[in-house]
Every structure is written in structure tokens, then in C-alpha cells.
Amino acid sequence: MIAIPQRVLMGPGPSDVSPRVLEALGRQTIGHLDPVFLQLMDDIRTKMRQVFRTHNEMTLAVSGTGSAGMETLFVNLVEPGEKVLVCVNGVFGQRMTDVAQRCGADVETIEKPFGQVFDQNEVIAAVDRIRPKAVAIVHAETSTGAHQPVDKLGEAIHERGALLLLDCVTSLGGLPVEIDHWGIDAAYSGTQKCLSCPPGLSPVTLSPRAVQRLEARTRKVQSWYLDLSMVRQYWGQERFYHHTAPINMLYGLHEALAIALEEGLEKRFSRHRQAHEHLKTGLRDMGITYVSQEGHHLPMLNAVKIPPGVDDLKVRGRLLDDYGIEIGGGLGNFKGKAWRIGLMGHGATKRNAEMLLSALREILKA
């Protein structure tokens, strides 16, 4: 048997899991069509709508991680030959481009350097030029720590006949995500970031406009497993069997959503912000700066420059081996140049921020 060590998870995900969620995961497994489980699914949908801040009827948890949620949106809402605009300023914008291309879409991109964000008017101008059927953008770019404003995009994109697709894997539960107010047509997230549930489910929500697009398809969705025209029947009143849901994972998600709503979303957002500010001040005192654009730093994902002359792997190795703290290295253009420090969900505390700062001070002195 492999002994699992105690860790403090302060990387880009997964985040530390609440004891309440761990306890929920260990509850008695029942059938995926058991009336009690179906009742729990209904309550999960209600709670997800509250966290997404939406009234969307089609709000459900896809059986798979956040990447499955990403693929769900594209395979259901994009048909071969349709134009799709993807905004790329990090690894996950690049990944959306790849997924859309695999769906047969005619993909065009607009790009910013890693760590920078788009001016929303730039996006709208690109929509005018390209005339896509869908526009995809990342709200919280996990690879760069950049917080992308999207509040002005929905209405403008709708006026031009397109759908707005949003990646909020890292932001949901840690920053305001206003699906209805912002006019987001489809969004996906993950359980393992600010919801502090283990990885394995992807909360997804589709607006009535997006559902109309799904129902107007001229050919079958290319993925049987992620076909929402069938999955929705399992989550809806029909309870039509599609696949065996990950029952205990859904127990965990139900508890994680309950915890978030008990705390109150505004208080939760404030807690993330306070922990971030504490970390940011301490890092600045050590001369460590952020790679993401000033004024657009994510509170739950702090992407910072590795100081000159410091060995990335040695520092992260010492943090893990000597202090039991995990942080992440850079991805893509930031590989070997940045650290990604997570303050997510259950782990978004000043105490965790101070613990990391103390460990870093000792390691950098050496």
C-alpha cells in the first residue's frame, strides 16, 4: 500500500478539500436511478444555478473534469464548417482552439501575450470582422493568472448573431461569475478549484439561446458521451438512462456547493481577495512580482516571476519535501519562468498565504 502524504495544496489545482466534502464522498453508494439520488441531483442543479448566478434550465454536472466541460460546449454548439472566434492569451485559450478545430470548425483567433488581457472592444471589433457563430474566451486563465473582463461582451455578441462561450474553471466560487447578467450563452467550470471538491465533475450551464442552437443542429453531436441532447434527459424530468453517474463524486459536489452557499458568495469572494492581498504584499517585500497584467491579477491563482538566479525545480522540491506545500510551475510560454500559487476555496486563507511566505523566505535565504 502506498502511503499518501499530508500536503497543503497551493498549486493551480486541485485545491485542499474540506473535511465535510471528504466525509460526503465516503457515504453509502446507492443506485444512479434511486429516487433519493435523483432528488440529490435536482438539489445540485438548484445550487449550481445559484453559484453560476443563472436561471438556465440546462445547468448540470458533466461526468468528467473541466476539460470535459470545455469539449462539451464545443461538440454541442459548433458544427463542421462554422466559424468560431477564440481569444487566446494563455494555454487554455490555445486548448479551446484545438478542441474547436477537432469539431471541424473554421477557427480564427485573436491573441495577446501570455499574462495580458483583451480590451473588450478589441473582441467586439474582431466579431465584426470575422462574423463567427460562436466566440470563446477564458475568464480566469489558469496558466497566466490573468483575470479577463467579459461584462460588455454578451449583448454586443448577441446583436451580431453569435453565442458567447466562457471558461470559468478557475473563477467559479472564487470570483463573481454572472452568467445571466453578462449574457453568457454557455459556460463550464471544474470542481477542483474554488469549489474545493476533488477533480471529476464539470459544472456546465447553457442559456435558452444555446439550447436553441443545440436543438437546431443539422447532424448528430460528434461525441456520444458528451451529447447534451441525451444527457439532459437524465438530469431532467425524463430520467432517461444515459451513463452511470459518478454517484459519490456528486455527493461531494453537493456538499461543496452547500458550503459555498452557507458561507455566502460575497463573503467567499472577499476571503479570496484578502488572502491574495496578504500574499501579494509578502511577495512584493521579497522582490517577487506578478507575470499577469497589473490590475488583472486573479486572487485565487497568483502567477509570479521566478527571481533571477533561482532554480525553479529546487525551490518547488524543497517546498514539497521540507514543508509539505505544493505550488505549480509555469505552463507554455511561462515554463521555467513563473510559479503559480493557488489560494482556492477551502485553502484561500491568510494563514496559508503566510505559511508559504515563511517557507519561501527560508528557502530563498539558503
pLDDT in tens, 94-148: 999 999 999 999 999 999 999 999 999 999 999 999 999 999 999 999 999 999 9
Q: How far is CA 41 from the centre of its chain?
A: 21
pLDDT for the residue 39: 96
Sign of the four-CA dihedral 338, 344, 349, 352: negative
Q: Is the pLDDT of residue 241 over 90?
A: no
List beta partners, residue 292.
none
CATH entry, 19-261, from 3.30.2020.10, 3.40.50.620, 3.40.640.10, 3.40.50.720: 3.40.640.10
Give rounded-to-5 percent helix, strand, coil for the chain: 45, 15, 40
Gap between the Cα atoms of 304 and 287, Å rounded: 11
CATH superfamily for domain 8-13+264-365: Aspartate Aminotransferase, domain 1 (3.90.1150.10)
Numbered ranges of CATH 3.90.1150.10 in the chain? 8-13+264-365
pLDDT in tens, 7-16: 999 999 999 9
Mean pLDDT of 167-176: 98
pLDDT in tens, 302-346: 999 999 999 999 999 999 999 999 999 999 999 999 999 999 999
Residue with cell 447532424: 219
pLDDT in tens, 180-229: 999 999 999 999 999 999 999 999 999 999 999 999 999 999 999 999 99
Strands 134-138 and 163-167: parallel
Q: How many of the other CB atoms lie within 10 Å of CB of 240?
A: 12
Of the two residues 347 and 238, the one the predictor is more confident about is 347
Gap between the Cα atoms of 117 and 93, Å rounded: 12
Does the pTM surpass 0.75? The reply is yes
Q: Which of 133, 123, 121 is nearest to 88 (CA)?
A: 123
Instruction: Using pLDDT thresholds of 50, 70 and 90, give the confidence band for residue 239.
Output: confident
Residue 268: which H helix or E strand, with range? Answer: helix 265-285
Numbered ranges of CATH 3.40.640.10 in the chain? 19-261
Sign of the four-CA dihedral 206, 209, 210, 215: positive
Contact 85, 132 (CB under 8 A): yes
Q: How far is CA 43 from the centre of its chain?
A: 21
Contact 191, 183 (CB under 8 A): no
Gap between the Cα atoms of 272 and 343, Å rounded: 7
